[in-house]
Structure 1
Amino acid sequence: MPPLLNIIALATFAASLSTRAMDPVLPHVAEDMSVTVATAAGLSAVTAFSFAIVQPLIGAAADIFGKGRLMLVCLVLLGISNVAGALCTSYAALFVTRIFAGIASGGVFPVALGMASDLVPVPQRQVAIGRTIAGTMGGNLLGASFAGVIGDLVGWRGVLVVLGVLVLAVSIAVGLGFQRGDAIATSRRMKLTDLRQGYRQIFSNPNARVCYSAVFIEGCCVLGLFPYVAAFLFELGETRLSIAGIVIAGFAVGGLFYTMTVSRFLALLGVRGMMISGAMLVAAQIVAVGLGPDWRIQLLSFVAMGWGFYMLHGCLQVFASQLSEQARATALSLHSFFFYMGQTAGPVAYGLSLSWAGKFPTLAVNALVIAILGLVCAWLLVGKAASRLR
């Protein structure tokens, strides 16, 4: 694998530090800002929404101006947004900073996938993407777990300050790494006049509808659950934010297990088997969380959930990377657009369903949807692309 993949993974690590960091501290944000937990969950939703809404523009900008340069600008913006959020004295101001944080995060991960896909041929692409995901999972793991610990010690504002400083420091290291690897200068670019043809090529591929619909459902049913984990634990009498952070971080641990085992399980199960097995594993763990066990059992469930999720999601990412060779960054950015739109809708849908139907019925329905999704994706994503991935 090319050494530049390690720099790309570092960039995704820095960007993903903020992705789940607010979830464990939402109850304290709600108390400090005098809003409900459901309202505070809007911070997670708006971050995901702003991440999603810029994806069509981010993908086009990356293909036109260069992937490496865009990633660096977005890392700096993310660091500044986090520090600014720590200084906010109103929920509205904090809400705005999370919008900018979402936009900045949106300029890193899908572009990183495009760079990784450019560097390796199709037979090795899922392993290369797995390494990129490892950076993301490491960031999610540390972001969620340390956010809970820091939140207990110095509050949610301290969480944002630490995150901002770390992201800015990593952006310097990534910039130096890109210059040595000549990534900024050699990033493959496309002309503005090529964009229309790129979009036409993407949406003329029948796999586009399947991939984009599937990741929207994933984001809604799985990631939409996360803002409510701390509240679920509060109901069980566990009010330590560090515990909520550890439980959520279990999902990232499962993602890391996926990156370490993807080549072995891909050879053993094939793409269709990975999709079905991953979806069933996720569905089972969502049901387990709905039963409200001790936090230690929920931690194990989140580890298994993360492992299963990326078995399915990783396959979808590879299919998305093949929708258009000419406009790969655009195709992957659209993939992230639909994924994060699902994460935007998810907390809202969960909140409405929890108030109407209750905890277990809500989680059980979402588990059923994910199980069906795995079967449908395995059935529909067929043909030459699936054959090449085996």
Structure 2
Amino acid sequence: MPETLPRPLDRIPPAINIIAIANFAASLSARALDPVLPHVAEDFSISIATAASFAAVFAFTFAVIQPALGAAADLFGKVRLMIACLVLLGLANVLGAVATSFPLLFATRILAGIGSGGVFPVALSLTSDLVGPEKRQIAIGRTLAGSMTGNLLGASFSGVIGDFLGWRGVLATLGCLVVAASVAVAAGFRGKAIAHTPKTTLRALRHGYRTIFSNPNALCYAAVFIEGCCVLGLFPYLASFLFDLGETRLSISGIVIAGFAIGGLFYTMTISRFLPRLGVNGMMISGASLVGLQLAATAFGPSWQVQMMCLLLMGWGFYMIHGCLQVFASELSVEARATALSLHSFFFFMGQTVGPIAYGFGIQNAGKATTLLTSAVIIIALGFACARLLRQRPPADAAV
């Protein structure tokens, strides 16, 4: 392994908590601008579709940087990279708060995407290093709790802060919180993983790529691309949907979007019960079906209270299938696990990059209801396809 850490789950609660803190800090910024996009668009005299490009560029940057960051984590150390990226993310948010033009704010979102991109997949890789496959989905669920809490607070608090301080206050506040979190993570890992010298080499990384893509389960990458497109691609338009209904309070937009993260937290609290009963295939089919039903319900423009409940159930269902796909990705390679999980994030966030564009095109040309119903059908079909095609297989380099 690149870093020598204890594997039994009962010996690592402090490390898991530190990883969750890093995920929490990085995830605060992911959906921070979604509830305040109408005001960003007004300040810079741009359309809501153009303002939605902030979400697309964040996701695109997050995605394209993944192969490089995954290799860097395997070569130079996961924790070092994670701390550096947290600092970059915090500074990018602060710079965004003082941006005086649309291009400058756009540039800071690119930096934020790079910073966030070095945290989430590395956190999953560290968790996978620490915990064996038999308990990995539950452990990853605990790590994801930090990420989902960050998404929850990032969306809901940005709406509340936006009503009082505007979108600039949102970015400034989040930037300071992320920088503070980087200090806490550095202190928590001092003398632990940072002190170990990575053993991975460039030659081993090349072998790792071959190992990853020769595994039939690598089709999980296509699955997470579709997930990102159909589910997360919708988020930049939720505030404008509410505006169309006459609900212009940014705090309400934040609450609705935060419902997705609440559903994700519910997943982390129930996975240990549902996984033994449903199995991996049942989790993927049930989760995808639940997501599809909520997309269909949202298509008909219910009240914000109903939409919030739809997002909550959507979040629960989404993580039921997404958590399974993360475990499949973590088992594609042992020696290049950070690379495998970074590629997982690459395809997922490429889906989030294409998603807002596809939704914008569909809404303008086919209408909101048709576009969302089409996404619902696609995501349900995805769940059944994954259950049929993905199988538990040991990685080819498991004995290395």
Which of the five TM-score ranges fits, normalised by the shorter chain?
Answer: over 0.9
How far off is 1:236 after superposition?
0.3
Q: Matched residues in 2 for 1:270 and 1:255: separation? A: 18
CA contact (8 A) 1:67 1:187 kept: no
Q: Deviations over 1:203-259 (max 9, x none)?
A: 010110x20000000000000000000000000000001000000000000000001
Q: Are 2:295 and 1:311 aligned? A: no
Structure 1 residue aligned with 2:120: 109
- Greater shift, 190-199 or 230-239, is seen at 190-199
Structure 1, unpaired ranges of 5+: none
Q: Find the counterpart in structure 2 of residue 23 from structure 1.
A: 34
Question: 1:319–1:385: 8 Å Cα contact kept in structure 2?
Answer: no
Higher mean C-alpha displacement, 185-194 vs 245-254: 185-194
Partner of 1:64: 75
Q: Partner of 1:215 in structure 2?
A: 224
Distance in 1 between residues matched to 2:30 and 2:199, nearest whole Å: 28
Q: Deviations over 1:147-184 (max 9, x none)?
A: 0000111100000000000001111111100115x021
**Residue 53 of structure 1 aligns to which amino acid in structure 2?**
V
- 1:335 is aligned, of 337, 344, 360, to 344
> Could you tell me how far apart the structure 2 residues matched to 1:342 and 1:108 are?
19
1:47-96 per-residue CA deviation (whole Å, 9 max, x = no partner) reads: 00000000000000000000000000000000000000011111001000
Corresponding residue for residue 99 of structure 1: 110
Give the Cα separation in 1 of the matches to 2:87 and 2:392. 42
C-alpha contact 2:79 2:193 (8 A) present in aligned 1: yes
> Offset at 1:18?
0.2
Aligned to 1:378: 387
- Please state if 1:195 is matched with 2:190: no
Separation (CA, whole Å) in 1 of partners of 2:325 and 2:354: 20
**Could you list the per-position Cα deviations for residues 25-49 of structure 1 after superposition, in whole angstroms to 9, with x for gaps in the alignment?**
0000000011000000000000000
Aligned residue in 1 for 2:146: 135
1:272 aligned to which of 277, 281, 305: 281
Return the match for 2:308 from 271, 276, 299: 299
AA aligned to 2:150 is G
Q: How many Å separate the matches in 2 of 1:364 and 1:330?
A: 35
| Distance in 2 of aligned mates of 1:187 and 1:228 | 45
The aligned runs of 1:348-367 (5 Å cut-off) are 348-367=357-376
Residue 230 of structure 1 corresponds to which residue in structure 2? 239
Change (3 A) 1:187 1:255: farther
After superposition, the CA RMSD in angstroms is 1.1
Distance 1:159 1:187 in 2: 39
SS in 1 for 2:335: coil
Shift of residue 193 of structure 1? 1.9
Against the structure 1 CA distance between its residues 56 and 88, is the aligned structure 2 distance closer, same or farther, given a 3 Å change threshold? same
Which consecutive residues of structure 2, in runs of 5 or more, have no partner in the other structure? 1-8, 396-400
Amino acid at match of 2:365: W
Equivalent residue of 2:99, what SS? coil
Letter in 2 for 1:137: M
How far, CA to CA, are the matches of 2:237 and 2:206 in structure 1?
A: 40
Separation in structure 2 between the aligned mates of residue 308 and residue 189 of structure 1, nearest angstrom? 38
Counterpart CA distance in 2 for 1:187 and 1:234 is 53
Measure, in 2, the Cα distance between the counterparts of 1:193 and 1:358: 50
Q: Report the equivalent of 2:176.
A: 165
What amino acid sits opposite 2:145 in the alignment?
A
